Amino acid sequence: MKLRLHFVVDPMGWLCISVVFGIWLYNTFFVPKLVLHPHYDEGHIPWALVVCYYLASALCVMALLRASTADPGRLPVDPHIPHSEREQWELCNKCNLMRPKRSHHCSRCGHCVRRMDHHCPWINNCVGEDNHWLFLQLCFYTQVLSLFTLVLDFCQYYYFQPLTRLDQFTTRHELALLRVSALMGVVMFGGMSSLFYSQMAGVLSVSTLRTLNCCIFLLRYGTKRTWQWALAEVCGTRWKLLWLLPLRSRQPLHAGHHYRSHV
């Protein structure tokens, strides 16, 4: 399945995503320059710590780029509606196109999006059925990178051994740069933790599941769907490792397939 790209022409969205990218770029450049590289060169920290930080940074920016450019679930102009599902479709009073229930019209994007959650200016894109999993990845990896940065900033002050070789730039600006990094880390970690919690609560809530599919699942298996199935439906795969990989495409799952079956 090809990766479908989606770009929104919105100057305010471009500004917001530029701020997010700037914060990522700041911490990816200055934290290794001030903390990781000097202490690694003097043998205070292992190479695995440096690799883990760059890995978290790379996954964070990949999730950002994919969430901001992936098609959120835009409906085609002339959708094919199966006869058995016509009762589940309705007419949008803004674009005059047929859409399935739980779809919403986005005034910023100018079209309807399947299972739209909200339009996020920080990624300049809607969060819908086809990129919700990428938005969850972005929240998760931003938390990881922000917490990693805060721990490194704290260790630079109170735990790491003093450096014996300091350049002029580090001596003059280290304190100010680390304070800015710590401030951004606190803001990003707090904001993304709250957002990630609310998003996960919505995904795992029975009220957010499609009523028809939930009834089919209850009748067929006699039990409610587990949290694994809810996340597998959002991520488009039952393999949990793939839930964490942003460079892949999403395949929709069907409620009629049992969770324990193989892909």
Give the span between the Cα atoms of 177 and 183, in whole angstroms: 10
What is the phi/psi pair of residue 104, to 5°?
-135, 155
Of 97, 77, 99, 79, nearest to 89 (Cα)?
Answer: 99
Cβ contacts of 258 within 8 Å, gap of 6 or more: 221
Please give the angle made by the CA atoms of 220, 262 and 58, to the nearest 5 degrees. 120
Catalytic residue among 106, 120, 139, 235: 120
Cβ contacts of 45 within 8 Å, gap of 6 or more: 36, 39, 160
Strands 118-120 and 111-113: unpaired
Specify whether the CB–CB gap between 164 and 42 falls below 8 A: yes
Give the span between the Cα atoms of 162 and 182, in whole angstroms: 19
Give the span between the Cα atoms of 260 and 238, in whole angstroms: 8
In the annotation, is 120 catalytic? Answer: yes
DSSP H/E element including 32? none
- Helix %, strand %, coil % for the chain, to 5? 60, 10, 35
What is the phi/psi pair of residue 211, to 5°?
-60, -45
Of 237, 234, 3, 255, nearest to 139 (Cα)?
Answer: 234
- Active-site annotation, residues: 120
